[in-house]
Amino acid sequence: MPDTRLGYRGARKMIESYDFGRIVIDGRRFRSDLVVFPDRVDGNWWRKEGHMLNVDDVKEIVEAKPDVVIVGTGYSGMMKIHPQTEQYLRSSGIELIVAKTETACKTYNELFKSRRVVAAFHLTC
């Protein structure tokens, strides 16, 4: 199975599996935090602060004009969403769903075929 650090482009695909530190999407294994856009996966997603999601971290996501943003906060839910980030997304007309990454992956799989979804996943802690 290919290990994809920088991501790939292509049609939207389901998340096949998730476990601490790794996720498989369309047969491609990722081992670092990532963002799943409708047309591509950014497999090199870095945040301004490791366990805090700030407004600057989601600007590219907002530019994609999703209906829904799903944030996977990690295996144990250690990543937090700054209140200004929540406000920024909602004021942009975007529904925000925040959950531990395992649950967030399942939610993504339920929604991606019927809605324009972008998902940002923290894969570890």
Answer whether residue 79 shows pLDDT above 60. yes
**DSSP result, 92-115:** TT-EEEEE-HHHHHHHHHHHTTTS
Q: What is the structure's pLDDT at 57? A: 97
Residue predicted with more confidence, 4 or 121: 121
- Structural domains counted in the chain: 1
- Cα–Cα distance measured from residue 17 to residue 54, given in angstroms and rounded to the nearest whole number: 27
* 2, part of any domain: no
Quickly state the pLDDT bin for 50 (edges 50, 70, 90): confident
* 37, part of any domain: yes
- Cα–Cα distance measured from residue 70 to residue 58, given in angstroms and rounded to the nearest whole number: 11
Q: CA 65, 12, 108 angle in degrees (round to 5)? A: 75
Q: In what order do the strands lie in the sheet with 34-36?
A: 7-9, 40-42, 34-36, 117-121, 68-72, 95-99
Percent of the chain surpassing pLDDT 90: 83
Answer whether residue 27 shows pLDDT above 60. yes
30: closest CA among 8, 59, 12?
A: 8
**Phi-psi label, residue 77: left if phi above 0, alpha if psi -120 to 50, beta otherwise:** left
CA–chain centroid gap for 16, Å, is 14
* 78, part of any domain: yes
- The residues near 90 (Cβ < 8 Å, ≥ 6 apart) are 96
Range of the domain at 114: 7-121
Residue 67 is part of a domain; what is its CATH number? Answer: 3.40.1230.10
